[in-house]
Each structure stands twice: as C-alpha cells, then as structure tokens.
Structure 1
C-alpha cells in the first residue's frame, strides 16, 4: 500500500477520490432520508434507544460530508503531488474520515442489531401507548406522528447499505492516508519513489 507509482499513482488517487465523493453523497442522502422521515420523530432525549439511533444517524450524515471533502482533497493532491499543504490536508482528512466512518459503521451495525432484536419497537416510541406492546411489525393500528407503513423494512433497507458504504469509506480513506505517508516519506512508507524519481530528474520537491 505504501508504494506509489509516479505514472499510474495520480490516476488511481483521482479514482479513489471520485469514489469517496460518490459514496459520501449516497451515505449523506440515505442518512438524511432516514432522519427526515423517521428519526426526527423519535429524537427526544428522554427516549434512550431513540437517542442512540439519532446519534448514529447524525454520525452517518457527518461521515458522508467528510468523505466528500476527503475525495475532493484527494483529487487536488493527484494534480499537485509535491505541494506540502495539500499533502497535509490529505493526511488529516483521510485519517479523520477513516475513524469517523469506522464509528459510523459500528454504530449502524449496532442500531441494526437492536432494531432486529426488538422488532423495531424503538422506531415506534413516538406513537401513542396502548395496553399491547407496540412494535414496527405489529398489525395493530396506533396513532403516530408519522407514517408507519413499512417503517421497519424501509429503515433497514437504508441502514444496511449505509453500513456497507461506511466500511468502503474506511478502506478508501486508509488507502489515501497511506498515499499521503508515501508522498511525505513518513514511516511506515519511507520508501517514497516519487521523491526518488524527482531527485533523479533533477527537480526539487516543494516543502
């Protein structure tokens, strides 16, 4: 991962940047849909499980935005390999995005597990209480401030791809971080082939 070819490396970095931008947009849109249509009704601090869902979803949206920013920086770096500021920007943005995307993936997996284990009961906390336990898969009609039609399936259908995309964001961000280390000649990527070729060509890198 530390190797970075001067000829093919910039193109690969640009592709990874474009992938981060696309995936970041998808995650942001999915997170916004879930929060706007479902979670905003169950985000009261008094509800323990709904607060966990809401925090997880906010992390998902933030991760999507940071992935977009990291992708843009990666594209800029692919065009300006020897500029110190963009190299540091790539290192900082990629490691932060990797950590946030990992937290997002873990949080979403936790939310999915809790939702499945409790048959979506946490999604119905904003509805009127009855003598019968309410869950998202129950045919019992209850008064809710939102449409409960297929709320369980819709939420999982959006959360599962978000978790997968978050894992992909982690991989892409780690790859970009390793490229940043290679460009700077930092361990464990001290063998910076770009700088070696620049020195052989007689050009002086910008520090």
Structure 2
C-alpha cells in the first residue's frame, strides 16, 4: 500500500489550513463576523466543508485561529519597524507611523468588528481581548528602549508610546475622507512636536 511520507502529509495539511485561514480572513474583512459562514469559507478556500471542519470544528475555533494568526503577523511587522527605527535619530515619528499603519490595516478592522459583534465573556470575545492586550504589551516593549536609551524614564517612555498609539487609534476610528486624513496628520504632527519638545529636548 502506498503511503505519502509523513512530512509531505504534514506540509499538505499545513497548506490546507493556511488556505482556510486566508479565506476566512478575507471574508471577515469584507463581510464581518456576524455574516461569516463556515460553508462560505470552505468555498472561498477551495476545500470541502468536511475538510475544513477537520481543521476547525466550529466557527469559533476558526475565528480564534484567524485572530491568533493576525496577531502574530502584526507583531512580526512591529519587530521589523522597530529594528529599522533604531537606525534613525528621531524615534517619535516611527512610533507614530507604526501605530497609524496598524490602525489603518484590515487586521485592526477585523478586531474592531469582533469587539462590536461578539458578547463579552465568550470564547471569541475573551480571546480577542487577550490577544490585543498581549499585542499592546509586546509592542510597547519593542519601542521603550528607543526612548529609555535617550535618558527618558521607563514610566514616561511608556506614557509616550501609549499616547501616540491612543491618538492614532482614536483618529482611525473617527476618520473619513481625504480632508479628514489631512487634519488627522496635522493632529499627529502637532502631538509629536509637543512630545519632542517636552521630553526629547530635555534629554539631548
């Protein structure tokens, strides 16, 4: 009896799983959590419904896997951005740009939709909250050395990072239209200028 090598079967299983997660991510971004149907995900991924249910037995398990995948992807991008910023003289603009990119990305919109669609203290809702908190802590840990290395205390550095991310989050949620985007950028530029004057100038 012919059997596929174990590693080949494993690779094919991983590839199918990735197809399903990609399809679910696209449908979540396009239609939202409430409209997501596992049968539609299987069709989008080009796999049988039974094959999908083998990997993800329920809608909840599928969405949680999508959230975990998105969280890992976002953190990977954040690590790359922080590494690039270490070569620059100004650290506030890269921190702000990192936040802007995150809140403008489909990943954040999926998280936001789930927060608005799912009841609290459910498996999906609690997982989304846990991942966001973990993601925030990891992101802060990446950026803090850029500020503490300039003589700013860790407490103040944390306030700076959180302020820039909170500002970007608020603007992303409320923004609409090109004129609004222009006003948002002016707001962010003003905040960076104020923070630079209040903190960085005192530690040069």
**Under TM normalisation by the shorter chain, which class is it?**
0.3 to 0.5
Structure 1 length-normalised TM: 0.35
